[in-house]
Structure 1
Amino acid sequence: MEYLDFEMPIKDLQDQLAKCQVIGEESEVDVTETCKKIEEKLAKAKKDIYKNLTAWQRVQLSRHPNRPYTLDYIKALCGDTFMELHGDRSVKDDKAMIGGLGKIGDQSFMFVGQQKGYNTKTRQYRNFGMANPEGYRKALRLMRMAEKFGIPVITFVDTPGAYPGLEAEERGQGEAIARNIFEMTRLKTPIITVIIGEGASGGALGIGVGDRVYMMENTWYTVISPESCSSILWRSWEYKEQAAEALKLTGDDMKKQGLIDGIINEPLGGAHSDREGAFKAVKDQILKAFGELKDLSEADLVAQRMDKFSNMGVYKE
C-alpha cells in the first residue's frame, strides 16, 4: 500500500498495530488491550483525516496509483459479459479510450471511458489516459451504435486532459471533442456519466455530457489542473494548493453550482482502500439513475438534457 503525505499518521498507527500483533503472536504477553487502543486511535485518525480533506488532498486521492480505473469498474459491474469494441473506422484504435457492450444484471449498457495504466509500460501503452481524436471518434461511434439499438450509455471519466501533441492537433482534436459534445446533447438514449478520477478540461467534456452526471467523493472536475493553473497565474507549481481551492473543483463545489447531479460516497480512506465498496456504490447509483430515465420518451430525454446544460452558468443578455 502506498501512502500520501497526509496519510502518514495512519501509516504510523498501522505499523504500530502490526508490531503489537506480532509481539502477541511470538510471545506469551497479552497485548489484546494495547491492540484495541491502537485500533481505536487508528479509526479516529482515519475519520478525522478523510472527513476534513482539502481540495488539493482530494486531487491527490484521485490520482492514487492503487485507485480503480475504468476497466476495473466495468469488470466489477459486468463480469464476463463485457465485450470490448475497437477502432474509430478512420485512423486507428486509441488505447486511452476504451468502450464496449456489457450487462449489469439483465440490462445491456454501452460503456465508454478513459483508461490509465498500472505501471510504466501500461501507462505508456494507455498514453496516461489522454485520448487522441480517434479516441473521441471511437467513443462517438459506439454511442451512436448504442442509440441505434436502444442501449443506454455509461461513461467513466478519468483523464488529465485530451492529448495535446502536434499529431493530435493535426488530426482535429478540438473538432473531435466539440463534435462529441454536440452529438451527445441530442443522443436519443439515456447517458449516465461518472467521474471516477481526474476530470480535466475538454478531455473530460468529450464524454461528459450526460442526463445524469455524478462525481465520486474524492475526484475533481474542472477546466484545468491545479498545477497548470498555478503555473499560469503564479509562474510556478508551488501554488497548486491555492489553485485547487480557487478552482472550486471538488464534488461539493460542483454540486453547489448545479454542474453535477450528485456525489457518490466512497469507503472511508478512498476507493482504493475498499474497491468492492466503491464498485457497489457506483453500481447502485447507475441503476438508480437508469430507473429514473428508462421510461422517458426520446423527445423528453433529449429536451431535458439540452435544458439542463443550457441552464448552466450565469449570464446577461
Structure 2
Amino acid sequence: MVKLVLLHKAGSIYDDEPDVVYDFPQTYLKAVRAAVDDWVVYYEPVKAGPRGYFAVAKISQVIEKPGAPGRYLALIEPGTYLDFDAEVPRLVEGRPLEAALAEPDGTPKRGGAVQLAVRRLPESDFARIVSLGLPQSLEAQEAARFDPEPAMAEDAASFERPVLERLTRRPYRDVAFRRKVRDAYDFRCAMSGLRLRNGGGRPEVQAAHIRPVECQGSDAVRNGLALSGTLHWMFDRGLISVAEDNETILISHNKVPGEVVERLIQPGRKLLKPANPAHTPHPGNLRWHRENRFGQGMTDEPAPWD
C-alpha cells in the first residue's frame, strides 16, 4: 500500500466526485492500484482554484471505467472522505510540503513531478499535510469557539492522537463536518433563512447529513445542510426534502401542519445555497434523500410542535 496525492480540478472534464470516485487515465494505473486500502490527499492546483490540499479519503477499489477504454475509476471507501477544516497551501514559508517537489535546497521544483495528476506521498508528508488541514486540536478549538471558559477537551489534556486514528474516530469527524457545514452557510438555516444565536452567542443551527453515514453517505460538505434543530428533526424523518430542481423545499403536507410550515420555512420555499458553489448540496445526495426518506413516515415520535 502507498499514500497518494490526487489532483482534482473543479469543473474538470473527468467524472470525479471526490467523496465517491476518482477518474484517471491508464498512465497512473499502477500507482493507484498500489494505493488500494490506503489514504489519499486531494489537491487543487493553484491555476485551477485557491484550495490547495483540501480533503482526505481512502481508496477501496480500482475498476475499469465503463465505456471508456484506457480510463479507470478509483472508488472511495464510504465514510472515509473528509474535507479539511482549512485548505492547505502547496508551499509553506516558500517550501513545498511534498518532499518530492523540492530541490535539495528546499526551493520548489518546476515541471516534472509537479505536473503529475497522481503523486506518491511519503508517510511523513501525509501526516504533516493532514495535521495542517485537520489539526489535533480541532475538537478543543470548537469547544472554545463560543465558550470563553470551556472544559479542557480530553484530546488536549491527555495525548496526541495518531493521524489515522483521528481520521477514523467518529467524534472528531462529526466536529470537522459540523464546522465546515455551518461555516459554509454562514450559520444560517438553509430552509428557514434564520441565523439565530443563544444568549452566549452560540449558533442554533446544526449540521445535517443529507445521506446518513450509516447509509454510505459521506462527511463531505456537499452531503450536508445547515438546519435549525426542528427542521433537522423533520429532514431526518422524511417530513421535508428538496425537489428535483435542487432548490424547492418539499413538505409532507399530510403530516406537517400549515401553520408550522409558515413559521419554519422561508417564504418562496427555496433552499438557501452556500456562497461557495463547491459547497452546494450534491444533486445525487438530494435525490437519495428524496427517494429514500421523504414521505416514508419514519417515526412515531411526537412532533416538536405537538
> Which TM class, normalised by the smaller chain length?
under 0.3
**Normalised TM-score (structure 2):** 0.23
Larger relative strand fraction: 2
**Normalised TM-score (structure 1):** 0.23
Larger relative helix fraction: 1
